[in-house]
Structure 1
Amino acid sequence: MLGYASAGLALPFPKLALADGFVPYTGELLVTIQANGGWDVSSFCDPKINTESTILNNWANGMTANDLPKAGNIPYAPFANNASLFERFSNSMLVINGVDMQTNAHGTGRTHTWSGRTARGYPSLTALFAYEKAPQLPVSYLNFGGYAETARLIRFSRIDKVGELRRILEPNITGSAAKIRNYYSKNDLNDIITAQQERLARIKSDTSLLPRQKFAMESYYEARPNVDALEHFASVIPGDSDIESSKSLSQAQMAVLGFKAGVTCAADVELGGFDTHTNHDSLQEPALSSVSETIEYLWDYAEAQGVADRLTVIVGSDFARTPYYNNSDGKNHWPIGSYLIMKKNASWANRVIGTTDEYQNALALNPQTLKADGGAGSAILHPMHIHSALRNELGLSTNGFQFSNPEEFDFFNPNLG
């Protein structure tokens, strides 16, 4: 019931355009922020106060439901410096609560959250987006960690050391910033690239190559000529002193710079520190603070670089944390979690869809009203429902990876919920 229709045994190789006549990409953009480890949504976007019998959150001691802060139509927890994020961006934010990840296992949770499928081997939403929107770009899909399955539709690029990226993107340049020179002339460099491509063409045509080897050679062969595009990317990367030192912020920075250069259309940003089985409050607080900080930085930097109007951001995690503390003051795994979906001043924003009870159990949602009203066809939300709606909203086809969900939820209809 949660599966895709068969995609067949053969998947297409990525078709990457050559650099000649490179035109920067100016279409829609996508970023996922993956809070790996299992975030506590009851201390973030699905705030829970304590009950008479259970302490769900220490920060909620003495509070009633009326005490919870609210930004526009979105309630949030007064914890981990969340206020700035919600107060600034509620008009660009859709919160979907009560999503059943159907697992307490990290690997399965990440797979389910970011592909809509519990089985491995199916593409992330980011991979589908990059494949359909701009597969010809040299670094169409940037991944900094987390779930990045491509199902061989496209390849992802990973950047670990931003400070060295410029040298990788401009391999023909040597010397210090004050005295830059080229190893080869432009004509000699073109001759070298042509000779390399001819050699690679012969290698990739070898009929004895295994499918995985052939895929790797195809990817390498078609990526090699993107010199002009990569030089353009290098030109927008700031000096070392202006590169963010924070790992999370540098990921967001590089994604935005790829967007600005027109060489990237999708990126995954990975955050960690959420698996808080002990000392939950003291560990989850900085982890959730990093979520808010990264989201705010991403939007601010995207605005400064002129790409914010084209950007969609999706925030999620493996699953959530239990609605109670364990004997080590920690919280264990809990399958009912949330998504944040953001787009600048979207008509469907400033809304909360999906409901959980006081103990963070998911309530069935009516697909006709997007309310937990017990109407016919009501169902518990699963990641496939979010992915199906996102594909429609982002203009993505199924590519042979159809979901088999019997109901559709139009989360992006501002008149529902």
Structure 2
Amino acid sequence: MAEMKRRDFLKTVSATGMAVCTPAIVTNKAYADLTPVGRYFVFLHLGGGWDPTSFCDPKGNITRGSIDPDTRNSGSRVNKFCSAAIRKVADVALEDNVDADMVYAPYRGTFNEGDMDQPGTPATNTGVTIEHVRRMLAGSPDGTDPSLLRADLSDGFDWATAKSDSAEQIRANAEGILEGRLTTVEFDTLADAMVGVTRNGTQMDADRFVYDAFCCLYGSKVRILNGVDNRTNGHDTGTRFADTGSMDMAYPDFSALYAAVKGADRPLAYITDGGGNDETAGLVPRSSASDVNVFNTLADPEGDYLDGGMKGLVEQAKQRRRQLLSVKESLPRRDRLQSQLYMVRDEGLAFSGVATRLANPTDPAEIELNDAANNGRQRQMRIGAAAMSTGMASSMQIGFGGFDTHNDHDNRHFFRIRDVLVDLHYLWRTLSVYGIDGQTTVALGSDFGRTPWYNSGEGKDHWAVTSYVLMGQDVSGGTVVNATDPLVGARNVQVSGSTLTPVDEEQSGSIRITPAHLHRGLRSIAGISNHDFSLTFPIEAEDIPVFG
């Protein structure tokens, strides 16, 4: 077997244009500046168009025609749960500073579809109630089965007292649900009052309470923007608008723009898994970092990587690349960078040190994160947080799929939102372990929303109006802008200081929120609004307090 050391391997494979390692930008410096930038951004894109009414903008199941006799699909309903089943975040949040009108949907299987709202007569919720949720969150793990959570059955149960006396237990229970350590909830006699829910005797699967656990832990940290008009129901255009703030195909995603401003020559400047729009405009290379085996390779300076057959293939690829270089060298630098592959780049001893730490963590909290990562998104989040904390990266973009639910919507869509919340919890844990949670802003968006009615296949189709979830530094947590009407039409907002108040469309001076406003806000809090790169790709929108 031919022996090839790490640096020779990296140089050889780089020359082929293969994805493991390739130099992205030629500079006069031997190495990039690895001083941490101190301010970080993570953008989560929910591909396919998510349905906010299945989470953060629920409406209930009164027929659409009861609200507006002239509306299309008048016999359909926005949701299959009644309005009384909708839960208030303030009723479960550990912290008290939460808007009273911040609400969330009940998860599939926890509501009774037979509870039907009627005009002027809201239905009574006979499924899981907020009392059940609170007693579940305040419960205790079983003494012999740590995966079983027993709801609090005590007489005179009081949620305020439980939060005061048992906050750490409530937190541990919510974390256990989000992290999959708690798998079953025992409601015992409380289950007698539950009708039409998915349960096994007196027990229910704990993952049906992920919404509740997330709102318990993060309700005071998130800001919800309901009623953002993406102005399209086309996937490509909607994705572009959501991620860049413009429908122009040439615009870079915000995460890429920020990474370019903060140093495109950082080893993993812009980390992306290819989800979302994923456009760099040639300003910065893309770096994919979900496979820790790549870091094992980079961290081992004496590894042998290629046998003779593989080396021959590499040599053939190198020859082909030499033939192409003469053509590509005539292209502008930006155009050359646009075509680069995903990469992880060698950056000397500093990079190897971080790679070793990632591949073989010794800190207990980092070991726990490593062991807990159970999908590629979470692995990318862990590597990204470590890279940002050590100056190797400044931003990250993560994509989620499966939201284009044109059929069987409820059975498929709730499950996907649950996955997002589980991963968002993992992301926040990771940012905290690496000490940058107080310096990071997270934005979650999608191509567009989904129709406020069901089609003949029990699915929901494309709808321009959607919602964004914001979290972290510079975000006024525990707040919501409810800028949708009962049929999920977008409402305008009136700006008053740091407040956005929904108003009638014809009100003078009011504004319809679009992704352009979000991206102007992102550039502002990032401190890059006046940078040359930002001015090259201007955002045409008013400055409004999207972050509160």
Contact 1:14 1:153 in 2 (8 A): no
Q: Deviations over 1:358-378 (max 9, x none)?
A: 110001112345112344221
1:101 Cα deviation from its structure 2 partner: 0.9
Against the structure 1 CA distance between its residues 334 and 159, is the aligned structure 2 distance closer, same or farther, given a 3 Å change threshold?
same
Q: Deviations over 1:167-193 (max 9, x none)?
A: 4423633179xxxxxxxxxxxxxxxxx
Structure 2 residue 151 is matched with structure 1 residue 131 = no
Structure 2 residue 127 is matched with structure 1 residue 99 = no
Structure 1 residue aligned with 2:495: 367
Question: Following superposition of structure 1 onto structure 2, how do residues 152-171 of structure 1 map, counting pairs within 5 Å?
Answer: 152-160=282-290, 162-170=291-299
1:312 Cα deviation from its structure 2 partner: 0.8
Contact 2:270 2:286 in 1 (8 A): yes
Partners of 2:328 and 2:240 lie apart in 1 by 34
Greater displacement, 357-366 / 224-233: 224-233
Against the structure 1 CA distance between its residues 281 and 232, is the aligned structure 2 distance closer, same or farther, given a 3 Å change threshold?
same
Where 1:337 maps in the other structure, the secondary structure is: strand
Structure 1 residue aligned with 2:376: 247
Against the structure 1 CA distance between its residues 308 and 324, is the aligned structure 2 distance closer, same or farther, given a 3 Å change threshold?
same
Letter in 2 for 1:75: V
Against the structure 1 CA distance between its residues 347 and 388, is the aligned structure 2 distance closer, same or farther, given a 3 Å change threshold?
closer
Q: Deviations over 1:334-372 (max 9, x none)?
A: 11001111115x562211124101110001112345112
Where 2:418 maps in the other structure, the secondary structure is: helix
Question: Following superposition of structure 1 onto structure 2, how do residues 324-335 of structure 1 map, counting pairs within 5 Å?
Answer: 324-335=453-464
Structure 1 residue aligned with 2:154: none
Structure 2 residue aligned with 1:90: 219
Contact 1:22 1:228 in 2 (8 A): no
Structure 1 residue aligned with 2:271: 142
1:236 Cα deviation from its structure 2 partner: 2.3
Name the count of aligned residue pairs. 368
Match for 2:515 among 359, 379, 383?
A: 383
Match for 2:237 among 104, 108, 125?
A: 108
Letter in 1 for 2:278: A
Question: Following superposition of structure 1 onto structure 2, how do residues 234-383 of structure 1 map, counting pairs within 5 Å?
Answer: 234-239=355-360, 242=370, 244-343=373-472, 346=474, 348-368=476-496, 369-374=499-504, 375-383=507-515
Q: Deviations over 1:82-130 (max 9, x none)?
A: 1222221122211111011111111111101000111212011101111
Partners of 2:477 and 2:357 lie apart in 1 by 32
Partners of 1:214 and 1:356 lie apart in 2 by 41
1:47 Cα deviation from its structure 2 partner: 1.6
Letter in 1 for 2:546: F
Contact 1:14 1:152 in 2 (8 A): no
Letter in 2 for 1:149: E
Structure 2 residue aligned with 1:402: 538
Against the structure 1 CA distance between its residues 204 and 225, is the aligned structure 2 distance closer, same or farther, given a 3 Å change threshold?
farther
1:207 Cα deviation from its structure 2 partner: 10
Against the structure 1 CA distance between its residues 294 and 207, is the aligned structure 2 distance closer, same or farther, given a 3 Å change threshold?
closer
Against the structure 1 CA distance between its residues 115 and 17, is the aligned structure 2 distance closer, same or farther, given a 3 Å change threshold?
farther
Where 1:366 maps in the other structure, the secondary structure is: strand
Match for 2:45 among 25, 34, 42?
A: 34
Q: Deviations over 1:43-67 (max 9, x none)?
A: 1111211224442212x13x338x4
Structure 1 residue aligned with 2:105: 77
Against the structure 1 CA distance between its residues 236 and 337, is the aligned structure 2 distance closer, same or farther, given a 3 Å change threshold?
same
Where 1:173 maps in the other structure, the secondary structure is: coil
Q: Deviations over 1:145-201 (max 9, x none)?
A: 2221111111111235x132124423633179xxxxxxxxxxxxxxxxxxxxxxx9x
Contact 1:16 1:137 in 2 (8 A): no
1:136 Cα deviation from its structure 2 partner: 3.2
Q: Deviations over 1:274-304 (max 9, x none)?
A: 1111111111121000110011110012112
Structure 2 residue 77 is matched with structure 1 residue 55 = yes
Partners of 1:104 and 1:338 lie apart in 2 by 14
Structure 2 residue aligned with 1:412: 547
Structure 2 residue aligned with 1:231: 352
Letter in 2 for 1:379: I
Partners of 1:21 and 1:131 lie apart in 2 by 13
Against the structure 1 CA distance between its residues 333 and 164, is the aligned structure 2 distance closer, same or farther, given a 3 Å change threshold?
same
Structure 2 residue aligned with 1:192: none
Structure 1 residue aligned with 2:133: none
1:404 Cα deviation from its structure 2 partner: 2.3
Partners of 1:214 and 1:43 lie apart in 2 by 41
| Superposition RMSD in Å | 3.1
**Could you tell me the percent identity over the aligned residues?**
28
Where 1:399 maps in the other structure, the secondary structure is: helix
Unmatched tracts of structure 1, length 5 or more? 1-12, 177-199
Partners of 1:217 and 1:353 lie apart in 2 by 37
1:21 Cα deviation from its structure 2 partner: 8.3
With a CA cutoff of 8 Å and minimum separation of 6, indicate the structure with the bigger relative contact order.
Answer: 1
Partners of 1:88 and 1:341 lie apart in 2 by 15
Partners of 1:329 and 1:21 lie apart in 2 by 53
Partners of 2:337 and 2:517 lie apart in 1 by 33
Structure 1 residue aligned with 2:7: none
Structure 1 residue aligned with 2:55: 44
Partners of 2:437 and 2:269 lie apart in 1 by 18
Contact 1:28 1:311 in 2 (8 A): yes
Q: Deviations over 1:317-343 (max 9, x none)?
A: 111111111111111111100111111
Query: TM-score scaled to structure 1, two decimals?
Result: 0.79
Contact 2:283 2:337 in 1 (8 A): no
Contact 2:485 2:491 in 1 (8 A): yes
Partners of 2:264 and 2:249 lie apart in 1 by 22
Unmatched tracts of structure 2, length 5 or more? 1-23, 66-75, 91-97, 108-207, 306-320, 362-366
Partners of 1:284 and 1:347 lie apart in 2 by 27
Letter in 2 for 1:76: Y
Letter in 2 for 1:412: F
Which has the larger Rg? 2
1:41 Cα deviation from its structure 2 partner: 0.3
Contact 2:293 2:359 in 1 (8 A): no
Letter in 1 for 2:105: A
Contact 2:52 2:467 in 1 (8 A): yes
